[in-house]
Amino acid sequence: MAIDVIQKDGVIVLKPSGKLIGSAVSELRRTIDNELPSDVENPRLLIDFGDVSMMDSSGLGTLMGTHVSIVKKGGRIGIINVGTNIKNLIVRSRLISTFEHFDSENEAVTALTS
């Protein structure tokens, strides 16, 4: 799995590709930890799932842990391009209202920085 990371107007945008299962989840967690050091206040993170074909419960757990960590620091996390498989996982887990959903990267960046 590969993860592209860009900064756009103060928002860290992660673009993982492939399947978020097994060791790929650990790689995502390491990338998030590297991009969001513990001393950052009001972090803004956007995850683009456009190239992610599958995610398991450990991937969902990583997202939840990241959400909790960011919210504690006064920040926000958003997601875009969520495919059917991942959306079904989030809905079944009753976490659909936990994440801010956006239609595009530009819309998300604008919303997360305001």
Average pLDDT taken over every residue of the chain: 93
How many Å apart are CA 64 and CA 1, to the nearest integer?
A: 20
Contact 58, 91 (CB under 8 A): no
Contacts of 22 (CB under 8 A, 6+ apart): 56, 58
Q: Give the residue extent of every domain in the chain.
A: 2-34+42-113
Between 109 and 90, residue with greater pLDDT: 109
Does residue 39 carry a pLDDT above 90? no
- Three-class DSSP category at 82: coil
The identity of residue 55, as a single letter, is M
Phi, psi (5° rounding) for residue 70?
-70, -45
Does residue 97 carry a pLDDT above 90? no
Mean pLDDT along residues 46-55: 96
* Confidence at residue 17, expressed as pLDDT on a 0 to 100 scale: 96
How many Å apart are CA 57 and CA 65, to the nearest integer?
A: 12
CA 17 to chain centre: 12
- Cβ burial, residue 66 (10 Å; 0-12/13-18/19+): buried
The CATH number assigned to the domain with range 2-34+42-113 reads 3.30.750.24
| Cα R_g (the chain), whole angstroms | 13
Does residue 50 carry a pLDDT above 90? yes
